[in-house]
Amino acid sequence: MGFAMESDTKSIEQFEVMGQENKKKKPKKIKSLSSSSSSLIGCFKSDLGYPTVEESDDLGNFDIKSALTDSFLNSSPTHLVVTVNGIIGSAHDWRYAAKQFLSRYPEDVIVHCSECNYSMLTFDGIDVMGSRLADEVVSVVKRYPDLQKISFIGHSLGGLIARYAIAKLYSEDFKKPTSQDNGEPDRFEKPFRDEKTEGKIAGLEPVNFITSATPHLGLRGHKQVPLFCGIQYLEKLALYISWLLGRTGKHQFLADTEDEKPPLLLQMTQDCEDLKFISALQSFKHCVAYSNTCYDYVVGWRTSSIRRQNELPKHLSANNRYPHIVNEETAKINGSNVEPQVNGSITDDIELEEAMIEGLNKVSWERVDVSFSGSKQRFFAHSTIQVKTPSIHSDGADVIQHMVDKFLL
C-alpha cells in the first residue's frame, strides 16, 4: 500500500543541516512495525513545519512520528497513540488526525494507525477484531521500548474494538521491553509475574480513551439507527438481517445470544471473569465520547453519547473556537452501586439499553456533542466528525482540533 509524500525542500534542507551539526550524536536506527517486510515511506512536513516520518509494513499499518526525535534530538517519544478505524475502514481514515497530533506534540507522541482490522475483516466480530488489535499493540510496544504511556482513539465500530482490546491488554501480564546495547529491544515476554502491572494497558500507563460516533449501546431498535427513522418494521428487519454484516452485525444489533449467553456488548459493560472491561476503561485518566447530535444516519446520538433519551441536552450552542462543538459535559460517574443485570434472559430493547448504560456509567465519561447542521457536509456527519477524507469532510477539522487540544500527555 502506497502513501502520498508531502515535502518542503527548504525545511528538509534545514533539517539535514541540523543533523550534520549534531552528527556527534549517533542517531537511532529507524524501526519499522514489521521486521520481516517493511519500508520507510519518507519525510513530510506536518502542519506546523516539523519534519516527520512515516513507517509502514505490507499489512497497511503505519506509524507517524517526528523526524527530529530520532535523528536530531536523539530521543524517543514516550506516548503511544493508537487510532482504530470503523467498519470497512482502513488506517488512512485517521491519517488527517494523526498529522494534527504530530503537529501539536512532535516530541512526545508516536501515532500508530492500525489496519489489522480493515475492509472486509471488520465483519469478523468485535471479539476477534479486539483480540487482533491487542496483538498488534503488543507488537508496536515491542518496537519502541522507550514508551511509557498509551492512548486509544476509535471511530464508530473502532471504539468498540478498542474497548475489547484494552480489556485483553489489561487482563494479561506484560513485561515492558528494554533496550540492549545494540539498540534493539529484547524479546517481549509474557507472562511476567514479578512486576505489578495492575492498572496498566500493555504494561504502559493508560491516559486517554477517546471514541467518536461509536455505538456503545449497540444499534438494536429504539431509534438507535437514524436511517430507519424510528420505524419499528425497519428496525426489526435490520435485526433479522444483521447477519449480512457477519458476526460484527450480530454483535452490534445484540443478536448474538447463542448458548444462552448475553449479547457481547452487554458483557462488555462489566468485569467478566477473564476480561475486565470496566476496570480497563476506568484505568484511563481521560475517557471522552464525541457524538453527532444530528445528520449521522448510521449511529444515533444516544448510543454514541451513552445517554438515556431524557438526558440528551436540550440547549445547544456553538463554540466560538470550535464552531461545530455545541455542548460539553465534564466527566462524572452516573452509574448506581447496583451491578447491572447481565444474563441471557434480557430481550427487551429498553431493558438491554438500560443495563448497558448502568454498566458504562461506572466510568467517568466526558461527553462532547457535535452538530454539522449548518454545514454543506452535514449529510456525511458520520465521517465528517473524523475528517475521514479531508477533501470531502474538512468541516470536522475543528472537532479534531478540540480532540488535540484536550488531549492529556
Domains of the chain (ranges; CATH) run 9-405 (3.40.50)
Instruction: Indicate the DSSP class of residue 113.
Output: E
pLDDT (average), residues 157-182: 77
pLDDT grade, residue 237 (50/70/90)? confident
Strands 286-292, 365-370: pairing kind: parallel
Per-residue pLDDT of 342-388, as tens digits, reads 555 555 778 899 999 999 999 999 999 999 999 999 999 999 999 99
pLDDT grade, residue 62 (50/70/90)? low
* Amino acid making up residue 322: Y
pLDDT grade, residue 144 (50/70/90)? very high
pLDDT score recorded for residue 231: 67
Query: For 43-47, 192-196, 289-293, 333-337, which range has the lowest pLDDT when averaged over its residues?
Result: 43-47
Q: How far apart (Å, rounded) are the C-alpha atoms in residues 223 and 186?
A: 51
pTM of this structure: 0.79
List the end-to-end C-alpha distance of the chain, in Å, as a whole number.
Answer: 31
Please say if the pLDDT value at position 61 is more than 90. no
pLDDT score recorded for residue 223: 73
Please say if the pLDDT value at position 80 is more than 60. yes
Query: For 72-86, 106-120, 129-143, which range has the lowest pLDDT when averaged over its residues?
Result: 72-86
Q: Which three cell numbers stand for residue 356?
A: 448497558
pLDDT grade, residue 160 (50/70/90)? very high
What one-character-per-residue DSSP string does 85-98 give? Answer: --TT--GGGGHHHH
Longest dimension (CA), the chain: 71
Helices and strands counted in the chain (H then E): 14, 10
Please say if the pLDDT value at position 304 is more than 80. yes
Q: How far apart (Å, rounded) are the C-alpha atoms in residues 293 and 373?
A: 9
**Strand extents, DSSP E, 36-121:** 38-45, 51-57, 62-66, 79-84, 109-113
Please say if the pLDDT value at position 112 is more than 50. yes
Q: How far apart (Å, rounded) are the C-alpha atoms in residues 126 and 130?
A: 6
Q: How far apart (Å, rounded) are the C-alpha atoms in residues 194 and 201?
A: 17
Q: Annotate 112-140 with b (16+ C-beta within 10 A) or e (fewer).
A: bbbbbbbeeebbebbbbbbbbbbebbbbb
The full length of the chain comes to: 409
CB of 22 within 8 A of CB of 72?
yes
pLDDT (average), residues 22-31: 38
CB of 52 within 8 A of CB of 102?
yes
Nearest Cα neighbor of 62 from 113, 3, 117, 133 is: 113
Cα distances (angstroms) measured from residue 39 to each of 54, 109, 377: 9, 21, 36
pLDDT grade, residue 335 (50/70/90)? low
pLDDT score recorded for residue 351: 87
pLDDT score recorded for residue 400: 98
Please say if the pLDDT value at position 15 is more than 90. no
Q: How far apart (Å, rounded) are the C-alpha atoms in residues 321 and 397?
A: 12
Strands 149-155, 205-212: pairing kind: parallel
pLDDT score recorded for residue 336: 58
pLDDT score recorded for residue 151: 98
Per-residue pLDDT of 249-295, as tens digits, reads 999 989 987 777 899 999 999 999 889 999 999 999 999 999 999 99
Instruction: Indicate the DSSP class of residue 218.
Output: -
pLDDT (average), residues 86-96: 94
The residue written with cell numbers 527530529 in the block is 68
- 42 or 230, which is more confident: 230
Taking each helix axis as running N to C, give the angle between helix 397-405 and helix 95-104, from 0 to 180 degrees, rounded to the nearest 10: 40
CB-based burial of residue 172 (10 Å sphere; 0-12 exposed, 13-18 middle, 19+ buried)? middle
Share of the chain above pLDDT 70, in %: 70
**Strand extents, DSSP E, 225-298:** 286-292
Determine the 3-state secondary structure of 80 from DSSP: strand
Q: How far apart (Å, rounded) are the C-alpha atoms in residues 208 and 286?
A: 5
CB of 40 within 8 A of CB of 30?
yes
Q: How far apart (Å, rounded) are the C-alpha atoms in residues 383 and 377?
A: 9
Nearest Cα neighbor of 368 from 311, 278, 304, 276 is: 304
pLDDT score recorded for residue 269: 97
pLDDT score recorded for residue 244: 77
The residue written with cell numbers 495492575 in the block is 198
Q: What is the mean pLDDT of the chain?
A: 80
Q: How far apart (Å, rounded) are the C-alpha atoms in residues 51 and 66?
A: 6
Beta strands across the sheet bearing 205-212: 38-45, 51-57, 62-66, 109-113, 79-84, 149-155, 205-212, 286-292, 365-370, 325-332
pLDDT grade, residue 326 (50/70/90)? very high
